[in-house]
Structure 1
Amino acid sequence: MRFDIRIEGDLRERMEQEILTAERAVTGGIRAAGSGLKMDWRAQLRGGGLGDRLPRAIRANNYPARGESISAAALVHVKGRHTPEVIDAHDRGTLIRSRDGFWLAIPTAATAKLRGPGNKRITPLGFERKTGLPLRFVYRRGKPSLLVVDQARINRKGRLAKKGGRRRRDGILTGEQTVIAFLLVPQVKLPKRTDLGRDAEKWGNRLAGMIVARWKERG
């Protein structure tokens, strides 16, 4: 038995075309998977009730940024100084304790809108410096202790009012009351709101098929 094998056309040219097809298929599949993972992570964060700022911190970088490569890669990451730790805490359901071993001060609805330096969440010390109002400690056995403000006023939105109210003859503003500014707890257990690993595994499993599909389209 005899076989005759012939190669029609320029072998080098056909190999170069096949390499180009491979580069385009791999690069296209990688970029599509990276973009899909980014969008799924953003959707999870929004669905978990984490607002809009954290989802916007999810970014996808492609390597190379332009052109095609058979060694293409995509990096889906979180941008921001402390944002990765915040997202990770909600993804794992982290137990948070005070760094100095004392209390965690949780702002109430009356003070939650106040911001400290760098637009960070207000602290008891920052509250006193910002408002000039002293805080008083109230211990409650078996319940979260409190930091309260005496002779304070609450506006119609339920927040601490800086100024306002009519002053009586005795010098006290009308509508003054003791307002709970912070709840003091030893620790807080964050609920697990996301499962980012699930989406990463899903897109990892899809990647090979996405590359093959693009290869066939250009074959």
Structure 2
Amino acid sequence: MKLKLDIDPDIVAMMAAEVAAGERAVTAAMREAGTGLKSAWRTQITGAGLGRRLANSIRNQNFPRSGESLDAAALVWSKAPVIVGAHDTGPLIRSKDGFWLAIPLPAAGKSTRGGRITPGEWERRRGLRLRFVYRRTGPRWSGCRPPQTASQCAKVVVFKATQKRGRRDEGYDDRG
């Protein structure tokens, strides 16, 4: 008995087509993953209030740069790693002298330059001296007079004084 097996389609060509399809799939997946990670990281940075310029420092690059490969890779990095790292790790927020740091609340208003107002600028504008308002619980406040009721707190208190460790956006709200 004689048995003959003949494969009409060329097995080598079929395997080459499968490898090429795999290369296209892996390369496309890595490009999509790199782009997705870059846009998600940029969204987190702008969502944290750190601005579009810092968000635009996030870059990605795909390897190989042209063509397809089963060993494709994507690299996502920041061109400002020190700044991003400082906001990510939450370093100690401290004043120049190491004492209390006054963080302006929205009730303090804006600076003449459009940014956050400084305690000195607030005093010059209003003609009033700021002083610390000591409380039994919670952070101290810096205001022009101690609030008598809770409803007056938002009107009187303009700066929150803190020596807290952590990120600037962590644990801060308008009421202290």
TM-score range, shorter chain: 0.5 to 0.7
Distance 1:87 1:67, change over 3 A: farther
Within a 5 Å distance, the mapping from 1:55-74 to structure 2 comes to 55-74=55-74
Q: Amino acid of the residue matched to residue 187 of structure 1?
A: K
Shift of 1:17: 2.0
- More divergent stretch after superposition (77-86 vs 17-26): 77-86
Q: Deviations for 1:96-151, whole angstroms, at most 9, x for unmatched residues? A: 2449993365576548879xxxxxxxxxxxxxxxxxxxxxxx874733679xxxxx
Q: Deviations for 1:5-59, whole angstroms, at most 9, x for unmatched residues? A: 5422332222222211111110011101211221122223323333212221222
Q: Amino acid of the residue matched to residue 82 of structure 1?
A: V
Contact in 2 for aligned 1:27/1:73 (Cα 8 Å): yes
Q: In structure 2, what is the Cα distance between the partners aligned to 1:66 and 1:106?
A: 52
Q: In structure 2, what is the Cα distance between the partners aligned to 1:82 and 1:139?
A: 35
Distance 1:87 1:32, change over 3 A: farther
Q: Give the corresponding residue for 1:47.
A: 47
Q: Give the corresponding residue for 1:189.
A: 166
SS of structure 2 residue aligned to 1:96: coil
Q: In structure 2, what is the Cα distance between the partners aligned to 1:8 and 1:99?
A: 80
Q: CA RMSD in A?
A: 4.1
SS of structure 1 residue aligned to 2:35: helix
Shift of 1:76: 2.0
Q: In structure 1, what is the Cα distance between the partners aligned to 2:54 and 2:27?
A: 28
Distance 1:5 1:55, change over 3 A: farther
Distance 1:99 1:107, change over 3 A: closer
The reply to whether residue 103 of structure 1 matches residue 68 of structure 2 is: no
Select the structure with the greater relative contact order (CA < 8 A; seq sep ≥ 6). 1
Contact in 2 for aligned 1:57/1:83 (Cα 8 Å): no
Distance 1:99 1:5, change over 3 A: farther
